[in-house]
Structure 1
Amino acid sequence: MLKLTISNHMKTLGKIYLLILSILTAACDPFGTKLGEEVSYFEAAEPENITFPDTLKVMNWNVKFGGGRIDFFFDCHGDRVIMEKEEVENNMTLLAEKIREVNPDILFLQEVDTDAKRSAFMNQVQYLLDNTELNFGVYASQWKAKYIPSDGIGKMNSGNAILSKWELTDAKRIALPLIEEQNFIVRYFYLKRNLLHAKLKYSGGELNLLNTHASAYAKDNTKKQQLEIIKHYADSLNSKEQSFILAGDFNALPPNTKQTQNFDDSVCEDADYEADDYSAETDWMMPYYETYESAICLGEYSNDNDRHFTHTTDKNGFWNRKTDYIFTNRNFVSGSGTTIQDWMEASDHAPITANYELEITNEK
């Protein structure tokens, strides 16, 4: 009976595969997964007029689409795919509370949903603008589909966002390479990583804000290519003497990291979701540290690794690796970088903050 059930299941999957293949072959983009340079702008329901300070507080956080510490299938600690509306609301209330506690002037977000079945179709960008002191936002999707016929995922729109107390302009989405080893159908439905670029204009000039989320599960050179493209883009701004802050979840470890594989929370046996071996990637972040200023300098990280870890998939463990960063080519306040490790219940990533000195000129 078991063999028959498995056999019938495989036949069903085969039929679904052939059906999807025929649909994709017959139409250009039937499930609406293709992404260009489109960026969405958002504004708080009641924006406030705030004067620019001399120093900005900057915050970076992968918020796990408001999933808190629910064990989802891709971490292999559980099998959840979809959240109930109440769960999403509770988790987003907690995120907003923590963000208000820091009160950042600029907030870089990864894994934020705007219209996804898994998060009860809540527009999380709008929610955070309406429930924090932040007023304006830009958003670029990394994973978008009218319907994903896998694991009950359904409709999806998730990506990177930059929120600010002041208006953001000239936003654009820069596409990053797709995972080369994936087959045609998986690549069609899978995440399409990006670098989100927006400008913040103030009396002293212009500040470029860059936000990214590199591949987690690539087994080829895709992540390395993505990191090189992001670095090259930052270099192009720097060569023009344009100030920037670059933040994100790079899914890569800093140089001098003691442990690069065999983490306690790495329980995935499904090769598609294994992301726990960084042993071949130990120098991929070095060009960033060599060229730019980090919120957490490499010397401080090397001397006290544990205090600056930002990620774990195990809610019963503790942070065990650093994958999240903030860089600049200008003016972080020395020693201002912090890693907030007290909020494990809010996400599977810890936020990072730093203070950035603006060059303010008095308007006449």
Structure 2
Amino acid sequence: MKMLYTFLKFISPVLFFCLISGLGWFIFKWYSEPEYKVGSVKKGEVLNFNSNHTAEVRENKIRILSYNFGFAAGPMQHSLADDHPKSYFMKNMDNFVSTVKEKGSDILLLQEVDLDSKRSWYLNQLEYLMKELGWGYAAPVVDWDFYFPLRKERKIVKATVVISKFPIISNQYTLTSGKPNFSSKLLNIFYYPLLWKSTMQRVSIDIQGRPLDIYNVHLCVWNRDARAAQADFLAEWIRQSSDGRDYLIGGDFNFQAYIRGTPIPEEDMQRPPFLNILWDNLDGLSELMITKNDSIETIHEDFTFPERKHRYDFIFYSNKLKLLDSEVIDSLDSSDHLPVSGTFDMKL
């Protein structure tokens, strides 16, 4: 008993010091860092899954599909880690693969793909998709790699990914940190260092000797100012890196988005779309279904987030690319988003 007392007497101040230090670190992070920060451009990895795979442009067309994969958690997500059996995730991944094959897609822009997460049974969803599709090339960017010992999520590793039938030449990316805006300040301070970052990546693809730059984005969900800053950064990045080249910008733009437990962004919904930053700074830019002058109501008509009937997902393209057809694929419910798809003339 005396030994236990001596041990507790020694360890209690140590534990107290660790607790105070930990709290101090969370508070310091919150008050010392900006509301958001767009990081510098870094080099990402390019993976070759199938060295025997070859692809050709069919009928002078190339088909692009963008999808917030939502780690294959289905059409309604109540938390970061809803409880589902492993078979549920497998079914959702298989349904997605079937859709990709049915639509004849050639390049996929994906967000929220789990690589090693407890919530999705530690399945490497990228490896599974590549195996089932039989494609050769992928360019992932890990934007959340964290361990939560006291929460049911435990471990989350997720990525933003470009998958291609055609050779990927390079992968560059930038990550943006953003402060959450929950109604509780205490929650914001605690969660800020633990949360995911939002990704913008530039992937260069060789389509039978014709280069195509793919900008795959998953913009900040927390506030409009961060998204606007990302759009500014993206426009400048494209002007510097893709001048004179064909390019596409796709992904989840979180247009007028918000997360459960955060305020509805009424001010954002009354202001001109931040997407105008792209229209204003990139000559000849077009989008699959909207124009710069469309109203907010028109933008959301082709919604990709059924729960709110909002459009979060877009594909923009440069002026030398000719759009042949486009659609929101409303028959797939592997995620809480819907895929957007465009077919382009690629006469070589």
TM range, smaller chain: 0.7 to 0.9
Distance 1:120 1:281 in 2: 41
Q: Which residue of 1 aligns with 2:340?
A: 352
Question: Following TM superposition, by how much is the alpha carbon of 1:188 offset from its aligned partner in structure 2, in angstroms?
Answer: 1.9
Distance 1:235 1:35 in 2: 16
CA contact (8 A) 2:50 2:137 kept: no
TM-score (ref. length: structure 1): 0.74
Distance 2:249 2:134 in 1: 22
Q: Deviations over 1:104-127 (max 9, x none)?
A: 111100111111111111111111
Q: Which residue of 2 aligns with 1:336?
A: 325
Question: Following TM superposition, by how much is the alpha carbon of 1:157 offset from its aligned partner in structure 2, in angstroms?
Answer: 1.1
Distance 1:190 1:349 in 2: 21
CA contact (8 A) 1:81 1:152 kept: no
Change over 3 Å in CA distance of 1:138–1:17 after alignment to 2: farther
Change over 3 Å in CA distance of 1:35–1:86 after alignment to 2: farther
Q: Deviations over 1:83-139 (max 9, x none)?
A: 432222122112212222112111100111111111111111111111125321110
Q: Which residue of 1 aligns with 2:252?
A: 249
Distance 1:163 1:151 in 2: 32
Change over 3 Å in CA distance of 1:39–1:72 after alignment to 2: farther
Distance 1:235 1:294 in 2: 18
Structure-to-structure mapping, 1:49-128, within 5 angstroms: 49-53=54-58, 54-73=60-79, 81-128=82-129
Relative to its length, the structure with more strand (as a share) is: 2
Q: Deviations over 1:169-191 (max 9, x none)?
A: 22122122433878665232111
Change over 3 Å in CA distance of 1:288–1:50 after alignment to 2: same
Change over 3 Å in CA distance of 1:206–1:36 after alignment to 2: closer
Q: Which residue of 2 aligns with 1:285?
A: 275
Give the gaps of 5 or more residues in structure 1: 1-13, 26-33, 75-79, 254-259, 261-265
Distance 2:114 2:189 in 1: 25
Aligned length: 311
Local SS of the residue matching 1:236? helix
Structure with max Cα Rg:
2
Match of 1:325 among 290, 310, 314: 314
Distance 2:87 2:41 in 1: 33
Change over 3 Å in CA distance of 1:244–1:84 after alignment to 2: same
Aligned CA RMSD, in angstroms, stands at 3.4
Change over 3 Å in CA distance of 1:169–1:16 after alignment to 2: farther
Tell me the percent identity: 17
Distance 1:148 1:280 in 2: 37
Letter in 1 for 2:236: H
Question: Following TM superposition, by how much is the alpha carbon of 1:24 offset from its aligned partner in structure 2, in angstroms?
Answer: 8.2
CA contact (8 A) 2:255 2:312 kept: yes
Match of 2:239 among 235, 240, 258: 235
Q: Which residue of 2 aligns with 1:310?
A: 304
Change over 3 Å in CA distance of 1:188–1:204 after alignment to 2: same
Q: Which residue of 1 aligns with 2:4?
A: none
Q: Which residue of 2 aligns with 1:191?
A: 196
Distance 1:217 1:176 in 2: 11
Matched, 1:296 2:285: no
Question: Following TM superposition, by how much is the alpha carbon of 1:212 offset from its aligned partner in structure 2, in angstroms?
Answer: 0.7
Matched, 1:216 2:217: no
Question: Following TM superposition, by how much is the alpha carbon of 1:161 offset from its aligned partner in structure 2, in angstroms?
Answer: 0.4
Local SS of the residue matching 2:197? coil
Match of 1:226 among 226, 230, 238: 230
Distance 1:196 1:205 in 2: 20
Question: Following TM superposition, by how much is the alpha carbon of 1:308 offset from its aligned partner in structure 2, in angstroms?
Answer: 1.2
Distance 2:120 2:251 in 1: 21
Give the gaps of 5 or more residues in structure 2: 1-15, 28-38
Local SS of the residue matching 1:94? helix
Q: Deviations over 1:178-218 (max 9, x none)?
A: 33878665232111112111111244431111101011133
Question: Following TM superposition, by how much is the alpha carbon of 1:307 offset from its aligned partner in structure 2, in angstroms?
Answer: 4.8
Change over 3 Å in CA distance of 1:275–1:162 after alignment to 2: farther
Structure-to-structure mapping, 1:42-53, within 5 angstroms: 42-45=47-50, 47-53=52-58
Distance 2:122 2:78 in 1: 17
TM-score (ref. length: structure 2): 0.77
Matched, 1:39 2:28: no
Local SS of the residue matching 2:91? helix
Question: Following TM superposition, by how much is the alpha carbon of 1:243 offset from its aligned partner in structure 2, in angstroms?
Answer: 1.9
Question: Following TM superposition, by how much is the alpha carbon of 1:18 offset from its aligned partner in structure 2, in angstroms?
Answer: 4.8
Distance 2:41 2:149 in 1: 22
